[in-house]
Amino acid sequence: MVPHVKAFFDPATCTISYIVFDAPNGSCAIIDPVLDYEPKSSRTSTHSANKLIEFIHQQQLSVEWILETHPHADHLSSLDYLKNQSGGKTAIGHRIPVVQQTFKEIFNFDEDFIPDGHQFDHLLTDNELFQVGKLTAKAISLSGHTPADMAYQFDNVIFVGDTLFMPDLGTARADFPGGNAHQLFRSIQKLLTFSPETKLLMCHDYPPANRSAAWESTVAQQRAHNIHVHDGISEDEFVIMRNKRDATLEMPTLLLPSLQVNIRAGKLPPAEQNGIAYFKIPINWI
């Protein structure tokens, strides 16, 4: 059964969130929802998440899943807010404990933070099937950008997370803790072996001046035109290019706040005695 898909582009972080559903009045999954965060004032808002809720109400959808393709480093997740507002089970890839352990050490979280993935309702494993109403979805493990990256396949549509970008932009970076360019190349090859007409839906787009934001391509388009991984590029060529390019990239503006929320399944850090929650900012870590 071919899914219905509605995309929401967040210009502040260039993230695309999705609602995938079987039919109006049916069931849906939310993928990669954003919690707005303004770093200068350190204020969150739910403007982006509320747009998703508005669509869900319009279409009279029942939320079954709220999915993350990976623990994002560029935006905060609204997983927890949406779970409270719209219901549904939260899920992420089964290797999230690896990322939680890494960042628990970096942020020196106390023993109350247990890096076992229990913050999420479910951890999806490679090739695991799950239902969204009448739709059957499959989780596909795609480590490389982070150890915990997953893609979600619904019939001929795959939500690819941070692996491929649109063909003119290439691929996601592989230099975050636990990232690996060799693994990223092999994960991308997994995507590129699907049939040529398979639709690939991006997690990010950083539109250059000559086009507006876009998020849909096909396996055929990526194999022919992706500037980093088109047919004929070897793993070694890719890894040399990726590592060289990653060495020039700045850390994302929201990396430190994002990880502190996203490995808690979209919850803010616990409030202190005065009722205010704080982010920790390690000095000279990066």
Please report, as ranges, the residues that interact with Fe ion according to CB under 5 A: 72, 162
Cβ-closest residue to Fe ion? 162
Instruction: Name which of 22, 23, 44, 21 is nearest 34 in CA terms.
Output: 44
Nearer to Fe ion, 115 or 144 (CB): 144
Nearer to Fe ion, 64 or 162 (CB): 162
> CA dist 78 to 16, 145, 150, 258, 267, Å?
13, 21, 18, 11, 8
Closest CB 173 distance from Fe ion, rounded Å: 8
Closest CB 103 distance from Fe ion, rounded Å: 14
Closest CB 211 distance from Fe ion, rounded Å: 22
Closest CB 247 distance from Fe ion, rounded Å: 18
Q: Is the dihedral of CA 113, 258, 271, 35 positive or negative?
A: negative
Nearer to Fe ion, 10 or 162 (CB): 162
DSSP 109-151: --TTS--SSTTSSEEEPTT-EEEETTEEEEEEE--SSSTT-EE
Instruction: Name which of 74, 62, 2, 53 is nearest 26 in CA terms.
Output: 62
